[in-house]
Amino acid sequence: MRRHLLPLVAIACLDLMACQRAGSGVCPEGMSLDAKQSKPGQFTWCRSRDRKRAQYIEFQPSGKEKRQVCAFREGRAEGSFTAWFPGGKVWIEGQFAEGRPQGRWSQWDKAGLRVAEGEYRDGRFVAGAPVAGTAPCDKLKVP
Domain definitions of the chain by residue range = 31-139
Q: What is the mean pLDDT of residues 105-134?
A: 92
pLDDT at 18: 40
Q: Give the model's pLDDT for residue 103.
A: 96
Distance between CA atoms of 33 and 45, rounded to whole angstroms? 6
Q: What is the pTM of this model?
A: 0.78
What percent of the chain is predicted at pLDDT more than 70? 80
In terms of C-beta density within 10 A (0-12 exposed, 13-18 middle, 19 or more buried), how is residue 130 classed? middle
Report the chain's mean pLDDT, rounded to a whole number: 83
